[in-house]
Amino acid sequence: MKKIILLFTIILEFNLFSNTPYDEFPQKVEKLEEKIKNRDKKAINNLGNLYAKNENSRNIPKAKEYYRLAIKNGSEIASKNLEIANKLPKLCPERSICENWTTIRFVEEDGKIEKMVISGFPVDKEEVTETEKQEIRKEIEYILNIFFENEEFEIVGYTDKTENNKNKLSLLRAEKMAEFLKQNGLRKDIKITKIIGKGSENPIDTNDTEIGRYNNRRVEILLKTGKVKKIDISKLLNQLKDE
């Protein structure tokens, strides 16, 4: 069966028409930044909304930064806006889900997501590098918002063929990844039903090259349903409120 790496399909229902022409966007940003410099706390939240809502320059991570700053300055509206922003998937300019925005790779088969693949393990180490951790931590909120509720995961660890104590190491990788996901926002309705290690079985790349071995040192998260939510982007964006 055909497998496609780094690709998955999500049906998005939205009608995004920005009220801010692209050439006006920098001017609006500049005005709000000036208000912030003049201690206008409401402008912080409103600048977040500008980054979230503008079609041509949409930047959800940037919007969240301003929401968090506004929350620190006592904004209850920004707190609600952040909750809404956390439900948004990360979008490419073409308004589809980015294929390469994550260090976590997706494998699709028969129209559903079969598994997620996480690489980045140093040789003979049970955890991914700090750099990979930071990237995965940033992405977890997006990934978890993709799937339907009550999804079930099986987490499987792997090694390359050159590593020591392959079975034990692969299991530790799976266990550490499960722990990492739970500590960084895994929803309670998503159950981890099995955690196992398979040593150097089922390589996805050659073990004869450095990059091939890097790819084989991995954890796979197998999904029971692999179905994804319909996300009404325009409805979520319309819920964002200015102050």
Structure tokens at 147: 């799937």
Angstrom distance (rounded) from CA 63 to CA 158: 37
The residue out of 33, 58, 92 marking a domain boundary is 92
Whether residue 231 is contained in a domain is answered as: no
Do 79 and 120 lie in one domain? The reply is no
Do 115 and 46 lie in one domain? The reply is no
Whether residue 98 is contained in a domain is answered as: no
Whether residue 240 is contained in a domain is answered as: no
| Average pLDDT of the chain, as a whole number | 80
Whether residue 236 is contained in a domain is answered as: no
Alpha helices (H) along the chain: 25-37, 42-53, 60-72, 76-85, 130-146, 166-183, 210-216, 233-238
150: domain CATH number is: 3.30.1330.60
Tell the burial category of 136 from Cβ atoms under 10 Å away from its Cβ (0-12, 13-18, 19+): buried
**Segment 39-60, tens digit of pLDDT:** 999 999 999 999 888 876 678 8
The residue out of 33, 62, 92 marking a domain boundary is 92
Whether residue 5 is contained in a domain is answered as: no
Contact by Cβ (8 Å): 220, 173: no
Say if residue 32's pLDDT is above 70: yes
Do 196 and 124 lie in one domain? The reply is yes
Angstrom distance (rounded) from CA 122 to CA 163: 10
H/E run at residue 196: strand 191-197
Portion of the chain with pLDDT greater than 90, in percent:
42
- For the chain, the domain total comes to 2
Do 193 and 128 lie in one domain? The reply is yes
For the ranges 61-75, 139-153, 201-215, which has the lowest average pLDDT? 139-153
Tally of CB atoms within 10 A around 189: 12
Q: For residue 25, give its domain range.
A: 17-92
Do 111 and 214 lie in one domain? The reply is yes
β-pair type (191-197, 152-157): parallel
Do 88 and 128 lie in one domain? The reply is no
Say if residue 180's pLDDT is above 70: yes
Q: Write the CA distances from 220 to 48, 57, 206, 239, integer angstroms.
A: 35, 34, 17, 36
H/E run at residue 108: strand 104-109
The residue out of 64, 92, 120 marking a domain boundary is 92
Structure tokens at 42: 């409401």
Do 85 and 118 lie in one domain? The reply is no
Do 60 and 125 lie in one domain? The reply is no
Whether residue 99 is contained in a domain is answered as: no
Do 116 and 192 lie in one domain? The reply is yes
Start-to-end CA span in the chain (Å): 52
Tally of CB atoms within 10 A around 178: 19
Do 111 and 219 lie in one domain? The reply is yes
Do 59 and 121 lie in one domain? The reply is no
Whether residue 80 is contained in a domain is answered as: yes
pLDDT band (50, 70, 90) for residue 69? very high
Whether residue 184 is contained in a domain is answered as: yes
Structure tokens at 67: 């929401």
**Segment 136-162, tens digit of pLDDT:** 776 776 666 666 667 888 999 999 999
Do 109 and 203 lie in one domain? The reply is yes
